[in-house]
Amino acid sequence: DSGVTQTPKHLITATGQRVTLRCSPRSGDLSVYWYQQSLDQGLQFLIQYYNGEERAKGNILERFSAQQFPDLHSELNLSSLELGDSALYFCASSVGGQGRSGREQYFGPGTRLTVT
């Protein structure tokens, strides 16, 4: 158990809908990262938050957004969903945002999103 929790575990929704994925980092971790893993693909970095502020952006679509709240949990919002958005979405956390404390990231179990 990494200490990172994600809810829900599974989500099935229709095209055009909007969903929210939730992540709680490990106790003491200030950084939260979101990744997408599509079929036969590696993990694609989406976005990072550090202590409530956006730190880095990767290949995140404009239909997707995220935020980190004062209690450090984070939410990833996916809107106008398309079939191609079906994937595993992982959240990870680390102590810091960069340097030694930001290198090892600890992953949650993921949310499997199926868009029909």
Partner 1 sequence: DQQVKQNSPSLSVQEGRISILNCDYTNSMFDYFLWYKKYPAEGPTFLISISSIKDKNEDGRFTVFLNKSAKHLSLHIVPSQPGDSAVYFCAARAYYGGSQGNLIFGKGTKLSVKP
Interacting residues with partner 1 between 79 and 98 (CB under 8 A): 90, 92, 98
- Is 109 a residue that touches partner 1 (CB under 8 A)? yes
Is residue 19 within 8 Å of residue 108, measured between CB atoms? no
Q: DSSP class of residue 83?
A: G
- Is 25 a residue that touches partner 1 (CB under 8 A)? no
Residue pointed to by tokens 């989406």: 46
Length of the chain: 116
Interacting residues with partner 1 between 37 and 76 (CB under 8 A): 40-45, 48, 56, 58
Q: Where are the beta strands (DSSP E) in 14-58?
A: 19-24, 31-37, 44-50, 53-57
- Is 4 a residue that touches partner 1 (CB under 8 A)? yes
Other C-beta atoms lying within 10 Å of the C-beta of residue 114:
12
Nearest to partner 1 of 11, 102 (CB atom): 102
Q: How far apart are CA 3 and CA 56, in angstroms?
A: 23
Applying CB under 8 A, the span of 2-10, 14-22, 63-71, 74-82 interacting with partner 1 comes to: 2-10
In angstroms, give the least distance from the CB of 50 to partner 1: 11
- Interface positions with partner 1 (CB under 8 A): 2, 4, 6, 33, 35, 40-45, 48, 56, 58, 90, 92, 98-99, 102-110
